[in-house]
Amino acid sequence: MELILAVKEIVKFLYSTGDLSNELNRDQIGSEIHSYWQSLYRRDIDKKEFYVKKSFKLLDYDITVHGFIDGVLDNGLTIEEIKTAFIDLKDITVKKEHLAQAMMYGYLYLLDNKMDNLDIRVTYIHFEKKNELIFDYNYSFNELEEFFFNSLNEYISWINKLDTHSLELIKSVKELTFPFPNYRKNQLKFINDCYNNIKENNTLFAIAPTGVGKTISTLFPSVKSITEPKTKIFYLTAKTSGKTVALDTVKMFINNNCKIKAIELTAKEKMCVTGDKLCNPEKCIYMIGYYEKLKQAIYDMYDNKDIIDRKTIMDKAIEYKICPFEYQLDLSNYADIIIGDYNYAFCPRTHLERYFDTFDYKQILLIDEAHNLINRSKEMYSATICLNDVNFLGEYLSKYAPSISKLVDRFYDVVNLYDRDFNYIDEIPFDFLDLIRKIVSKSEKVLLSTKAKKIRDTALPYYFNLKNFLKISDYFDSDFKFVIDYDIYSIKCLDASKFINKTISEHSISQIFFSATMYPIDYYKNLINTNLGENVTIPNPFPRENLLLIVRKNTFTKYNDRLQSINDIIDCIEELVKYKVGNYIVFFPSYEYMNLVVESLDNPSYECIIQTKNLTDDEKEGILNEFKDSSSTKVGFFIMGSVFSEGIDYFGDMLSGVMIVSVCLPPFDDYNNMLKDYYDNTNRDGLLYAYHIPGISKVIQSVGRLIRSETDKGVAILYDDRFSYSNYKKLLPESWANAKTAYSNLDVKKHISIFKNRQ
């Protein structure tokens, strides 16, 4: 087997030391320092960026090791490794990895030049003062050869362990069988569609209804398609519940003797042990010494765990006293299945560079609940700053760099020329962006200096927000608007499909976007990946007669009609809960509307469970646990589009009925009207794209909570006259075509009575 290894790659894995750092841009400054120091080299007797490469045979590998030496000095007698220092030089000792890198290069250099010994220099340059600290060493050929092969042997032993796992995985995949005795109705077709799509390296959009088994129907063919090393499966989802189902599915494969490893990735705020969101390496014990502890922590996890979930990561990270968030990212290098949020693949700020900025892996992307990706992707390519971000940053840093105050003053002069009422334009003003760039550049150097240590934590959030704005500005084009709303300035991405398409076309071999609610499919294909790929609709596996769907006419839930609708909604709920003793949910388009109804309840015949804003994970879990008891009648008053309306399985008796109040259109505000105009101007139906489809998507998801298995039965009421309008009906699933019509709550009562008597 052939291996091409960079010296940096070997050294980073084996010899890294030091603390985790925050996100200040050290790389750019490091490049500038390198260039500065190399510019001082003597033209005739020094060389910079000297390339070395040699091949070796080790175990069963043909190995090529290569890299660039920063400097070859003194007519070839000395090699130099240049490093940038961000602390006072008097506090510096040579880092193990810096010397190791120079020694690895030194051996390759000696082989080429047939020398008996070599002077090796590690030079540290302070990023501000540009003064230097030099460490000189002399090594014999034998010393460097011993170090080189000791290092290479350890690294190759690790590579060999990974390769052995890959071969075992590929062998076990051939023998893997479907973990259930029977397929659900229409499931085998879905599995075959997915498998063929992967084998043909294509893109598939699958409308797969609740109950067909979307998770296993996409993961099983993906795993079965693994025939080569360096294949990775990304299972991407917007909800924590989606990750849990995916992990449980992989466990079934492992229990079926599949030699596969999977990891769950979790957002930083949920992985932080200390609560220090600014990640200050001087305060967080989990950042201190991270790199020297990492290798052993990786060995430990890899040798002992196949399913690496959040709890497993947290426990092991605490044991080794390393950052759980960064630990999970480093562990993901050695997993076959990576389960996490859309951000890890598609967000320009938080995507995993090790996979989506390189071409090292064959990646299969499975995108769960893909209808969510449209709004999420637009958010990924949008950014907002306010005047206070600039003002506070200038206030905190100006005493360390007075020039920042002048830049802030100039920025105020520019923005004071703008019309402060909501308006948007097709480009970011040059002066605005140029001044933000200059403020960020000046701030960066101040924040890296020791003199600003006391105010660093306070200033960093404002710095990061401005830096993020600059990052997103690089993508600005005709699918963006620059929005001014008083003191808030936003880059709004209105269509991110070409960015998603770039990611999938360049960094994956196959993609499957699946959801129960991608109606109409052309809208989703258009706004997810520029209308590329095939699409398939999997028929609903459940008997239609198990769901009683009622459209309640003569009802009006538009904003100005809501007060008049309250009493009728309450009466309709009373008719719904007469179906049977059990649990019900009434979904509303907003907290405001929901609270109007809740506050008008007068001694209802049922217990109320009311969703509030900003629920914690424990509070959400507590509410869901209440639905596990169906011995009395309870009604949940929830919001469409929230955690309780998507990705939650209310199996069996957990849910007997749902009521959907309104078609859930987005608010008719400045932003959505801007979006409507954009779609109209790009030859798409603005009203349909900006309002109707996003609203109906939430409705379909909410009703989908009701029937989750072949034996589930229930009642769903669509409470809004507009559900009977042709322009809304065409957006509903075909399986809803047999909906009953009720002109009053008395009709609702009759339909439910007939449905109940048939059971």
Pick from 214-228, 298-312, 632-646: least confident: 632-646
Is the distance from CB of 595 to CB of 673 less than 8 angstroms?
no
Q: Is residue 156 scored above 90 in pLDDT?
A: yes
> How far apart (Å, rounded) are the C-alpha atoms in residues 158 and 662?
58
Q: Where are the beta strands (DSSP E) in 387-453?
A: 423-425
Average pLDDT for 553-558: 93
Average pLDDT for 442-463: 86
> How far apart (Å, rounded) are the C-alpha atoms in residues 218 and 195?
8
Q: What pLDDT score does 25 carry? A: 66
Amino acid identity of residue 288, one-letter, is: I
Pick from 345-354, 491-500, 646-655: least confident: 646-655
Q: What pLDDT score does 750 carry? A: 97
13 pLDDT band, cuts 50/70/90, is: very high
**Which residue matches tokens 């020039």?**
403
684-722 confidence digits (pLDDT tens): 999 999 999 999 999 999 998 888 777 889 999 999 999
484 pLDDT band, cuts 50/70/90, is: very high
What is the domain partition of the chain in residue ranges?
2-157, 266-334, 384-492, 544-757
581-626 confidence digits (pLDDT tens): 999 999 999 999 999 999 999 999 999 999 999 888 889 989 999 9
* Rounded percentage of the chain residues whose pLDDT exceeds 70: 99
253 pLDDT band, cuts 50/70/90, is: very high
Task: Specify which residues 64 forms β-bridges with.
Answer: 4, 55
Is the distance from CB of 492 to CB of 501 less than 8 angstroms?
no
Question: Could you say which architecture CATH assigns to the domain 2-157?
Answer: Alpha-Beta Complex (3.90)
Average pLDDT for 536-562: 91
Pick from 23-37, 59-73, 686-700: least confident: 23-37
Torsion of CA 562, 568, 573, 578, to 10 degrees: -170
Q: Is residue 87 scored above 90 in pLDDT?
A: no
282 pLDDT band, cuts 50/70/90, is: confident
217-232 confidence digits (pLDDT tens): 999 999 999 999 999 9
> How far apart (Å, rounded) are the C-alpha atoms in residues 175 and 468?
47
Q: What pLDDT score does 6 carry? A: 96
Helix/strand/coil for 381: coil
pTM of the model: 0.92
Q: Is residue 9 scored above 90 in pLDDT?
A: yes
- Average pLDDT of the chain is 93
Q: Is residue 496 scored above 70 in pLDDT?
A: yes
Residues 6+ positions from 716 with CB-CB distance below 8 Å: 547, 548, 549, 550, 657, 658, 659, 660, 703, 706
Pick from 111-115, 281-285, 596-600: least confident: 281-285
* Rounded percentage of the chain residues whose pLDDT exceeds 90: 78
Residue 620 CA to chain centroid, in angstroms?
Answer: 22
Q: What pLDDT score does 629 carry? A: 92
Q: Is residue 1 scored above 90 in pLDDT?
A: no
Q: What pLDDT score does 457 carry? A: 83
Average pLDDT for 56-74: 94
- DSSP-derived letter for residue 351 is S
Helix/strand/coil for 432: helix
Q: What pLDDT score does 358 carry? A: 80
Q: What pLDDT score does 23 carry? A: 64
174 exposure class (CB count in 10 Å sphere: 0-12, 13-18, 19+): exposed
Left if phi > 0, otherwise alpha if psi is -120 to 50, otherwise beta: which for 182? beta
544 pLDDT band, cuts 50/70/90, is: confident
Return the CATH number of 544-757, one of 3.40.50.300, 3.65.10.10, 3.30.70.580, 3.40.50.11750.
Answer: 3.40.50.300
**Which residue matches tokens 């951000």?**
343
Average pLDDT for 673-680: 97
Residue 714 CA to chain centroid, in angstroms?
Answer: 35
Q: What pLDDT score does 717 carry? A: 98
> How far apart (Å, rounded) are the C-alpha atoms in residues 288 and 281?
6
Residues 6+ positions from 356 with CB-CB distance below 8 Å: 345, 503, 507
656 pLDDT band, cuts 50/70/90, is: very high
Is the distance from CB of 737 to CB of 729 less than 8 angstroms?
no
Amino acid identity of residue 253, one-letter, is: F
Average pLDDT for 345-351: 92
Four-residue CA torsion sign, 362, 368, 371, 375: negative
